[in-house]
Amino acid sequence: MQDQPTPSEVIGAVAQFLKTVVAAETTGATSFQARVAANALEMMRRQLDLAPAEDAKELERLKTLLGADGTLLDLNAELARRIEAGTLDLNTPGLTDHLWDTTLAKLAVDQPTYAAYRATLAKRAPPEPPKET
């Protein structure tokens, strides 16, 4: 067992340092690149935090969709092949939902502020329960 603090915590602290100290105390290209580096670290932190659970769900969906076993990479390659060949398409039960769930999980890591992602989440959010009068 490795010790604490966790990689996610340390990466978060380094990102903060880059943003609040390095980017703030430098100018021009260096300041810009420090900000880019901080954002890259935040992205990796989100991946460490979110990917294990999302990958496990994606693997289960792929096994069901394809009726096959394998690694995440194997099964994604197989899904890609079947879509290219036309043996699976958007009429295949579960495929549309799988592609959406998988893509939203990627955006949650890569670019959670992306406007098209926010708009999609807002559309998919369950409606607010009606207020009691």
∠ CA 128-129-133, rounded to 5°: 125
Stretch in the footprint of other proteins (CB under 8 A) among 1-9, 49-57, 95-103, 125-133: 95-103
Cβ-contact 103, 90 below 8 angstroms: no
Question: Rounded to the nearest whole angstrom, what is the least distance from the CB of residue 8 to other proteins in the complex?
Answer: 18
Number of alpha helices (DSSP H) and beta strands (DSSP E) in the chain: 6, 0
Report the interface residues with other proteins, using CB under 8 A. 29, 33, 36-37, 39-40, 43, 73, 76-77, 79-81, 83-84, 86, 89-90, 96, 99-100, 102-104, 106-107, 110-111, 114-117, 119-120
